[in-house]
Amino acid sequence: MQHLTILGSTGSIGASTLDVVARHPARYRVLALAAQRRDDILFEQCARFLPRYAVLLDGDAADRLAQKVAAADLDVRVLSGADALEHVASLPEVDAVMAAIVGAAGLRPTLAAARAGKKILLANKETLVMAGRIFMEAARQHGATLLPIDSEHNAVFQALPRNYAGDLAASGVRRILLTASGGSFRNAPWSALREVTPEQACAHPNWVMGQKISVDSSTMMNKGLEVIEAHWLFNAPADAIEVVVHPQSVIHSLVQYVDGSVLAQLGNPDMRTPIAHALAYPERIEAGVEPLDLIKVATLNFEAPDFARFPCLALAYRALRAGGTAPTTLNAANEIAVAAFLDRKIPFLAIPQVIEQVLDALAVTPVDTLEDVLNADAVARAAACDRIRCASPSFTPLSPRQL
């Protein structure tokens, strides 16, 4: 019996995790559920899974949840705040932590799980993007097991040798190929991108995801963040990580070897597959996912990414190569810009412009401590907010050539 903490239980990854867990009640027991502010969904999850702890980052939401839990006479202890997230991520009796809180809020509890030597199912991109070296060192030092949940990184993990120890050359690996769907606007004319609405950007053609990650997919920042993640997960330099646009989202990623072999992991676009793989690793369990029908798929297409159409991808490579605080700056500016777009404060094409302006404005400094990361994050967020407040309703995004 594995005892689990699920950070981000009310999001799409958390819901998919609970779906897999519910299929195997003899294997998994949920000890803690945590989220940012969606108390209504968390209450429903508490009623079904009866965790020992339920945590909400938002204090008001936690108060509402506590009232509902008491009224239903559930034996669930409700906690709130960042310290509570770290507490349930490092409980001695917890075997595995699903780290799926979106954004920088997931960094500290995920790091706490690493320092507690937990099996970490990593779905929070920002942990590696913002603090990759610190997190990987903590995982090694404390004996934590790290299993990637992003479908792309999970696919790479499956295609690498079982005993892969962080040396591409020693394992005969030439490069890692991360596939990308191309998002909602892969074939849209440039003129149409000027009028993109949040609803359109959140309508992903293949995956059901939250708003922020859906917008990141439409700008391909999601893939850029995954490039940075792959660098830390597999100790791969930027030049050994290539993005390939694959609209069908059937091949989730590939590993190319020096002997000419290319190994790929295929499956229907359903996050329950990588979740089940990581939960049961090195075993395999039923995930509730429909088997892949290659005859029905029939055709698989591939193309190079258009860096002019998707400047966020180029900005992510730039930040990775710069190192230090650059990836933290990139991530923070992107979070602020995406939130502003979703609030209709800036147009879609302003997202990469804000990010580039912040990267240009802030010096890159070394990252030695978590405090360095958090300070860089705060400075970048303030810089991004300053630029967004200066944008007038008549603000016109730059053309692809200018970007």
CATH assignment at residue 68:
3.40.50.720
pLDDT in tens, 87-116: 999 999 999 999 999 877 889 999 999 999
Burial (CB < 10 A; 0-12, 13-18, 19+), residue 300, is: middle
Same-domain check for residues 138 and 186: no
Say whether both 349 and 243 belong to one domain.
no
Listed residues 113, 148, 183: the one ending a domain = 148
Query: Has residue 395 got a pLDDT over 70?
Result: no
Range with lowest mean pLDDT among 180-184, 263-267, 309-313: 180-184
pLDDT of residue 204: 58
The stretch 137-152 carries a mean pLDDT of 96
Confidence at residue 126, expressed as pLDDT on a 0 to 100 scale: 83
The encoded tokens of residue 32 equal 């803690």
Claim to verify: residue 200 and residue 123 sit in the same structural domain: no
Q: Is residue 376 part of a domain?
A: yes
Are 241 and 104 in a shared domain? no
- In this structure, are 110 and 191 located in the same domain? no
Instruction: Answer whether residue 398 is part of any domain.
Output: no
DSSP 3-state of 178: strand
What is the rounded distance in angstroms from the CA atom of residue 372 to the CA atom of residue 389? 26
- Least confident stretch, 72-76, 180-184, 320-324: 180-184
Per-residue pLDDT at 125: 85
Find, among 193, 139, 189, the residue nearest to 166 by Cα: 139
176-232 per-position pLDDT tens digit: 999 998 877 777 777 778 888 888 887 756 555 668 888 998 899 999 999 999 999
C-alpha of 179 from chain center: 15
Q: Give how far the C-alpha of residue 310 lies from the chain's centroid of Cα atoms, to the nearest Å.
A: 19
**Total domains present in the chain:** 3
Query: Hey, what are 334's tokens?
Result: 């992107």
The model's confidence at residue 397, banded by pLDDT at 50, 70 and 90, is very low
- One-letter amino acid for residue 205 of the chain: P
C-alpha distances out from residue 214 to 12, 93, 108, 227, Å: 11, 35, 24, 17
The SS3 assignment for 329 reads helix
Domain assignment present for residue 230? The answer is yes
Name 173's bridge partners.
257
Assess whether 254 and 370 both reside in one domain.
Answer: no
Answer whether residue 202 is part of any domain: yes
Total Cβ atoms within 10 A of residue 343: 10
Domain span including residue 200:
163-265
Are 184 and 136 in a shared domain? no
What tens digit of pLDDT does each residue of 348-375 get?
999 999 999 999 999 999 999 999 999 9
Looking at the structure, tell me whether residues 121 and 192 fall in a common domain.
no
pLDDT at 69 over 80: yes
DSSP 174: E
